[in-house]
Structure 1
Amino acid sequence: MRPLRTPPNNRKIPLQKNVYCAALERISWVFDSFDRICMSFSGGKDSTLLFHLVAQEARRRKRTFSVMFIDWEVQFQYTIQHIQTMKQLYEDCTDTFYWIAIPITTVNGTSSYQPEWTAWEPGVKWVRQPPEGAITDPAFFPFYTQGMTFEDFVPSFNDWLARTQPVTPTAILTGMRADESLLRFQSICDRRKTRYSPDKPWTTASMSSGACTIAPLYDWKTADIWSWFARTGESCNPLYQLMFQAGVKPRYMRVCEPFGPEQRAGLWLFHVLEPQRWDQICQRVSGARTAEIYAADRNGFYGQGQINKPSEMTWRDYAMFLLDSLPPSTAEHYRNKIAVYLQWYRERDYPDDIPDFQDKDTGSKDIPSWRRICRTILRNDYWCRALSFSPTRTHHYERWKKRVQEKRKLWNVI
């Protein structure tokens, strides 16, 4: 396997050990340092590998740990079977398996009419039924609120677990890898975050609850993951083999909630691999069929590839046209986000207005322009991540919306 690389000061510096040995050392340190350990499990290749390594260490020490799996309702049957296989395989060293099948809201990047969707939403026909033993009552979690988003639920779960009696330092293990995206790399490198200790950049500590999120595989690459499975022969989600046979490149193989702006490109696999369930998915989630057809289209649909506008319009005019074409509630949401974005730049580099377009303004770096705003709307980027926003916490959103609506009258930006 490759030499380990660790990114202090935003740089990758090779060390004299490989990533496998480094991961084992980190997991051993976790068992030495924490009395309560919980692993976040998705059924994907990264979290499956981590599950194997953590279970092996737990068996060696005759310890146990808990597992948290969020069931998204719309999931491949292969993934559900794999989760059940792993649960049975390591039931001797896991104390609690939190199979969570409660209403949790996430982004729906396939539709402007339903920009968010809620798994296990009450009062609708579900794609499938939760398995026996799953947590289906939201009241099980005292922190749960109606309409709670995934971004709210996970940190709240971590804090709740750390405060569960007896209160004890708690480790939350994740299969996050810095190589997956620039955002994840930056989350590891961020020197402003609170770490368990300065020499452990792969930890993020919560000062309020005592929970510490740990990414033992943060420096692994995709090739390292598959090399480990090939050498050990350990159980992995069979969905990956089917993805490979269907022609999906390894870097695009994902096992997660299916309707996000990035994940929607894989919806066609449901039609190919589980056609008996595809009709139910199309009835359940607005825009699913459209995404299956166009999510891989690089000709401007969903804001991918080169985007175009009517020649007689400026990009600002086109942005106004796109906003006017959206459902009123969705348009108002975008107007609030865009107003904050414009005002931020008005107070800094662009007192009059941001440029209509700039070179490389549709890339990953936030280069402000009206063309970038158009691309954000076309992509159904509901929380405007491309404009450097993060999701607003559910219980703060209505208050935030009213406050911005009042400020828009003073700013007069949109």
Structure 2
Amino acid sequence: MKVVESNLNVLQAAKIRIRNVFANGCKIYLSFSSGKDSLCMANLVYEMILSGELDPKQLTVTFIDEEGLYPSMVDAAYRWRRNFLSVGAKFLWFCLPFKQVSVIDHLSSSESWITWEPGKEDVWMRKPPDFAIMYSPYLHYAGEMNYQTFCSKAFSDGIQLVGLRTAESLTRFKCIANTKMERITRGGKFYPIYDWKDSDVWLYIKERNLEFPEIYMRLYEAGVRKNALRLCAFFGDCGTQGLRWIAETDNDLWERIQRREPNAYLVLLYWDSEMFRRTTRKRGELEEESEKKDYKALCKDLLFLHPERYTIAKDTLSHIEHWRGLFIKTYGIAEQKHYKTMYEGLLYGDPKMRILRILWTTIYNDHNARIKEEQNHGKH
């Protein structure tokens, strides 16, 4: 993948990109999630409106309320709704029954739940705002689609501005690399801060003294690394650390979470185990399994010999042939660490095949690096 250096800093580049997108004259949909990246995006656009560089009448800010959100995230959404409405932009707050990924339903072999599910109002984790949009003609039944698919359909008459960054994952890096951003038209997505690093995001927030969701500080105090501070709905793949913190500090919210998702207790028992794609040293010592498992043999058993012995969620199970293809085609070059990721990914769940796609690249990259190292060693 070609990387092009620029004489502009990332802030200057982002402003030019935003200015150019608005210059199209069409509707602009700014995705807001209350996370640190969308906070930077929101403030950039907001300040450019205040300075007269952008027309607020073109702008519609969209907030997909995932129900299972930290209170400080909800507070941030209210705050930025007031900001954008005050300058003449629109702000749409959606509380719709979308299908969401869940990593804590292994016992029922499910990998999803439905936000704001009709008929379950008595166990909703909180009440939606009075002004929230609870119906859409694009959504015919609860759980029909995830919010990404919905946004592509509902906002196809304009351009979506999304705070996606390449630094967050290899998958996102590939997404940006395959996007022809010089030809963004109606129905497309644009990523103005795609080249920002974590340090750029936090520096921007610090220098402007922006108020950010308190949960970031609490997760950092709980031991989450700075480059892993990502907020998602409670039952998403990056939400387990947050659920642990809630269980320890907020009894009322934890009770609401357990009413909504009875299997939430699994996080407290197994957050540091293979169930959640983690294995701490302490857990390994207690279970006497650290460095003793033959993950290659386990993957072979799970994929080919005795798959019926394992609990694999149906969404991941539907992609089992892709996993078998990975095992066969990388046989002989994959290492134990790759098989460990493969094994844990299958048990943990990979409904969007993110782990699978990354494994393909990682295995071949590691293999090529190993060959080069051997060649260099041979020259000496």
Q: TM range, normalised to the smaller chain? A: 0.7 to 0.9
Against the structure 1 CA distance between its residues 272 and 83, is the aligned structure 2 distance closer, same or farther, given a 3 Å change threshold? farther
**Structure 1 residue 217: Cα displacement:** 0.6
Q: 2:320 aligns with which of 319, 324, 338?
A: 338
Q: In the aligned structure 2, how far is the partner of 1:286 from the partner of 1:385?
A: 26
Preserved contact between residue 222 and residue 251 of structure 1 (Cα < 8 Å)? yes
**Of 210-219 and 269-278, the range deviating more from structure 2:** 269-278
Deviation, structure 1 residue 273: 4.3
CA distance in 1, matches of 2:292, 2:316: 20
What stretches of structure 2 of length at least 5 have no aligned partner? 280-289, 359-380
Aligned equivalent of 1:236, options 195, 212, 234: 212
Rounded Cα–Cα distance in structure 2 between residues aligned with 1:304 and 1:247: 14
Whole-angstrom CA distance in 2 between matches of 1:275 and 1:161: 39
Maintained 8 Å contact 1:34/1:171: no
Show the 5 A alignment for 1:125-144: 125-137=123-135, 140-144=136-140
In structure 1, distance between residues paired with 2:217 and 2:326: 47
Partner of 2:177: 189
**Structure 2 partner of 1:406:** none
- Structure 1 residues 361, 31: CA separation in 2 closer, same or farther (over 3 Å shift)? farther
CA deviations over 1:175-205 (Å, ceiling 9, x no partner): 1111111111111112xx45443xxxxx5x5
CA pair 149-162 structure 1, distance change in 2 beyond 3 A: closer
Q: Distance in 2 between matches of 1:372 and 1:85?
A: 40
C-alpha separation in 2, matches of 1:84 and 1:31? 25
Q: Confirm whether residue 304 of structure 1 aligns to residue 278 of structure 2.
A: yes
Equivalent position of 2:202 in the other structure: 226
Match of 1:148 in 2: 144
What's the secondary structure of 1:162's corresponding residue?
Answer: coil
1:78 corresponding residue in structure 2 = 72
State how many pairs are aligned.
339
Aligned to 1:103: 97
Distance 1:335 1:71, change over 3 A: closer
TM-score (norm 2): 0.79
Q: Which residue of 2 aligns with 1:55?
A: 46
Where 1:277 maps in the other structure, the secondary structure is helix
- The counterpart of 2:309, out of the listed 324, 332, 338, is 324
Q: Helix, strand or coil: the match of 1:82?
A: helix
Q: 1:378 is matched by which residue type in structure 2?
A: L
CA drift of 1:54 comes to: 0.7
Structure 1 counterpart SS, 2:8: strand
* Distance change in 2, residues 1:322/1:266 (3 Å): farther
Match of 1:403 in 2: none
Q: Which of 19, 22, 28 is the equivalent residue of 1:31? A: 22
Report what 2:235 is aligned to: 259
Structure 2 SS opposite 1:90: helix
Local SS of the residue matching 1:123 = coil
Whether 2:219 is the aligned partner of 1:276: answer: no
The 8 Å contact of residues 243 and 253 in structure 1, kept in 2 or not, is answered as yes
Alpha-carbon distance between aligned partners in 1 of 2:131 and 2:61, rounded to the nearest angstrom: 14
Question: Which amino acid is 2:143 matched to?
Answer: G
Q: 1:158 to 1:289 in 2, by over 3 A?
A: same
* SS at 1:47 equivalent: helix
Contact 1:111 1:380 in 2 (8 A): no
Q: Which residue of 2 aligns with 1:211?
A: 187
Distance change in 2, residues 1:195/1:90 (3 Å) = closer
What is the CA RMSD across the aligned residues, in angstroms?
2.9
Shift of 1:116: 1.0
Residue 335 of structure 2 is matched in structure 1 by 360
Partner of 2:284: none
Deviation at 1:43, TM superposition (A): 0.2
Listed one character per residue, the Cα deviations across residues 325-365 of structure 1 (whole Å, up to 9, x for unaligned) are 438xx45x5444213543x569xx75xxx74x8543654xx
* Residue in structure 1 matched with residue 119 of structure 2 by the alignment: 123
Distance 1:334 1:223 in 2: 34
What do residues 74-94 of structure 1 show as CA deviations (whole Å, max 9, x unaligned)? Answer: 111111111101111221235
8 Å Cα contact 1:106/1:117 also seen in 2: yes
